[in-house]
Chain A
Amino acid sequence: MEQKIIQIQNNFLEKIQKAKSLKELDEYFLALFGKTGEITLLPKEFPKLSKEKRKQIGPLFNQTKQKLEKAIQLQRNKVREESYKKLETEKFTLQPQESQGKKRQGHLHPVTKLENEIVELFTKLGFKQYNAHHIDTEGYNFELLNIPQGHPARDLWDTLYIDTSNVKTTPGELLLKTHTSNAQIRIMREFKPPIRMMSIDRCFRYENVDARHEHTLDQFEIVYIDKGVNMANLQYLSEYFFKGILGKDIKARLRPKYYPFVEPGAGVDGLCIFCKGKGCKVCGGVGWLELAGAGMIHPTVLKNGGIDPSIYSGIAWGAGPERMAMLKYGVKDIRSFKNGDLKFLEKF
């Protein structure tokens, strides 16, 4: 037995050290560690040995196994490094070759597809896209939106802060935006009413990831400010969105909901797209799905944006495109959107 092991070792070590290609090394690896590899098969003979013999053979076997594995690894690196030296001589040629006529089928990301639909829908109503910061201040993300420090509503947004030790700002002042509402004040300050702007952008939360939770999520939000804007318009916009994106029969239903930057505030339900209101597993039997958050922009927020709340009123309306995409395309795991798995992405 000892002899057999030593023989395998010597035989293969020599071959491995002489190997000139990765392919060769792969072959040796299989010959040793594959299903019927010599090393793989050895332990099957151990039960035939006496107890004492086994005590001797065990450590020897392990040593040999490790030695061979390491040798293959080392030689692989050596072969690679050798081949890297040859890279210098490889030409930089951009001339196409005959063979490169093959055509692939390209795919937009499913969330992009859905967002394009949303943008198109709201462009028809005169809304324009706003380019907002991802990294923003406490002020724009919270305080100017009527969410002061220590406000219980801060529990709604678990926030990721930026390390400011090498910038001028004070610690805790910069953060990754937790919602697209960070654009509201800038929009109000940059444009005069009437205002119809939208922001569709990446937001960040301190959240542990699972099939239903993500720390990086898109949001879609509109800011609509004019004289006489009201909750009946909010109902209209909610229906316009759901019918345009989820289907003509998806009604919208408003419910009271508290967000510090709107008053009155509303949660927006859409008729469950699976059971159409009858009640099913997805909607928990209620027939409706909570799909958006909205409200009449709080007068303090309008004032902070330089708009007189005694003349103008406004609507803020926001929803999560990923969640919509999950419903619309039947995606079960929210993580599929950002893990780059082409088997998933090429379905769309």
Chain B
Amino acid sequence: MKVSISWLKELIDLKVPVEKLIKLLPLRTIGLKSTDENFFELDMKGYNRADLLSMRGVAREVSAIADSPASFKPVNFEFKTQRLCEIPVEIESKELAPVYCLVKIENLKVKPSSPEWIKKLTDSGIRSINNVADITNLAMIEFGQPMHAFDAEKVKGKIKVKTARKDEQITTLDGKIRNLNEKDLLITDEAGPIGIAGIMGEKMSEISSSTTTILLEAAIFKPIPIRKSAQRLGLHSESSKRFQHGLTKTNLLQALSSAIKMYEALGGKLTAITLKGNLADEVKTIKLTQQKVNSLIGIAISSKQIESFLTALGFKLTSRSSDGNAVWDVAVPYWRLDIEIEEDLIEEVARMYGYEKIPAKTLDTNIPDHTQNPLFGLLDALKKALVMQGLTEVETYSYYSTQVIKNLKLKVENLIRVANPISAETEYLRNNLWPNLLEVAAKNIRNNIKDIAIFEIGKVYAPRKENLPKENYHLSIALSNGTDNPIQELNQIYKAVLKHLQGEEVQLHSGVEQKEQNETKYFHPTRFKSLGKADWMAEIHPRFVNKFGVDQRVSVLEIDIEATMPQ
């Protein structure tokens, strides 16, 4: 949310310098993404403060944290609706569209907006289009309620809010043809779709220079389907963002009233209106106890302070008990959709107090007696023993690169596959470590480091039918020392590590001394040694080493560490 500084100053009597406010906001409310002399941008990613997606919401917040009185008043809905005719509207599902309002305004003339409007929009990161379209955006930014204006002459017959048919198409305002499905909510007229609900209008019914009459829409749609449609269509907009965060009926009516008044000021005339759905917000009341506030924050905050913090933020407190441990019923202001439980209120108190002023308190001595998982001690001891033997630890991705898959002709059907890989490089999960170590060894050899002694300890993954896939810690070593028989030194290192690990809870096999039957094509025909179970060491067949652009001999070892631990 980009907050226009001059607009903010219209809404509150800011008692602190802007530079100070910019330092205060991250400490009391929310982080900032960027600032300049015209605006500051709130970092709303993943945030739950729907109210901060409006200038009035930001003004209320700033008023509380910077002790600056608000100078705006609620906008009353004061149109004599009984004298107006109704626009026929049919809502297919009240669940998907709980509130739908449509007003008709005639006698408009499309012109460029005034410089003041253009500045407000520009500060807010929105491009000015024309006076008629800009009002919808100005009202959205001020109240947080998205609006859409259709050219009334292009809309034929009854308006319906309904889900799309499979394979239905729409040309959106940006001129692109969009393929819809049954999950997308549409606004339609007799001829077909005139907008994707909450996301974007349709091209034909767009406001043009000849528009004189508009249908102005303000609605509340169910957030999750809007989010899904916006995601699928890749159409995240200022409007869809606000639908996703949640809207309030009070704000909707205020935004609608304010927009109508702005159209009237342009000479427009309200001639028809339709209001569908329950237009009153529920008031939530939450019990708050001083004892809980203080025990969760860890300091003593007086009941007076708690009351003043919450009142400044618009909460209404009714005292239930005030002897020593105060208890209140707290009515949540309609615009704070994020406040649901007592802990939410405690956060409000804590941030008004100032998180940064909470002193540090040591933990008590109530140390639990959980048993330590022996795995981690073993991994640590192994790493240290390997480093003592002169090996360097590397970390590689949990995936096989396309190069590894291609060079080793790996059967990908045996691997776990990522359904939505970032690229082919993150599509298949490794089921051994040595292929990645071979890749790293070759890369370093090509980079003129001819003596390679590396290891990795990390998880490998294998599919299995039940529950979760199998994932086990493996150890792999790659050694390439310039000799024609590097497995010799690898074996020495392995033995030294075994010696080092005596006393650890691990049963590593010292290996079968004679040559094992070696079926796999990856290894040197004679240089393979089983280390029990599935563990082994071998020289990689030079043919496969060469695939990585290297002619040096490389030996590797692979051990399933978890399988070696006593059960």
Contact = CB atoms under 8 A, between A and B. Distances in A.
Interface string A138-180: 0000000000011011111000111110111001101010000
A131 B378 CA distance: 13
Interface string B345-376: 01100110001101111111011101111011
A166 B413 CA distance: 10
Given A153-B46, A153-B48, 17 more contacts: A90-B527, A92-B529, A106-B389, A108-B393, A134-B459, A135-B468, A152-B227, A196-B367, A230-B296, A232-B298, A255-B355, A256-B355, A263-B344, A264-B297, A264-B346, A337-B395, A343-B449
A230 B542 contact: no
Nearest to B356: A253
B468 A150 contact: no
Interface of B: 26-31, 45-49, 223-224, 227-228, 244-245, 295-299, 341, 343-344, 346-347, 350-351, 355-356, 358-364, 366-368, 370-373, 375-376, 380, 383-384, 386-398, 416-422, 426, 439-440, 443-444, 447, 449, 451-454, 458-459, 461, 463-466, 468-469, 471, 481, 484-485, 487-489, 491-492, 513, 515, 524-529, 541-543, 546, 551
A87 B418 contact: no
Contact of A258 (B26, B49, B393): B49
A202 interface: yes
Given A191-B370, A267-B31, A109 B419 contact: no
B376 A230 contact: no
Contact of B420 (A160, A174, A197): A160
Interface stretch (A48-56, A59-67, A121-129): A121-129
A160 B461 CA distance: 15
A166 to B, nearest CB: 6
B426 A107 contact: no
A313 interface: yes
Nearest to A116: B380
A43 interface: no
Contacts of B375: 131
Contact of A338 (B45, B390, B397, B528): B397
17 contacts: A83-B542, A87-B524, A94-B513, A104-B391, A134-B459, A155-B45, A167-B463, A168-B465, A176-B418, A191-B368, A194-B366, A224-B363, A230-B295, A232-B299, A232-B360, A237-B363, A253-B355
Looking at A91, A104, A202, A343, the one whose CB has the most chain B CB atoms below 10 A away is A104
Nearest to A207: B422
B372 A128 contact: yes
A346 interface: yes
B393 A107 contact: yes
Nearest to B380: A116
Please classify the interface of chain A as helix (H, G, I), strand (E, B), loop, or mixed, using the class held by over half of its residues: mixed
Nearest to A120: B380
B469 A162 contact: yes
A162 B444 contact: no
A195 interface: yes
Contacts of B524: 87, 90
B420 A129 contact: no
Contacts of A167: 463-465, 469
A270 interface: no
A126 B444 contact: no
Interface in A22-71: 22
A340 B355 contact: no
Given A134-B398, A256-B29, A162 B368 contact: no
A258 B392 contact: no
Given A129-B373, A176-B418, A202 B398 contact: yes
B388 A106 contact: yes
A254 interface: yes
Nearest to B453: A104
A208 B422 contact: yes
A220 to B, nearest CB: 13
A210 interface: no
A257 interface: yes
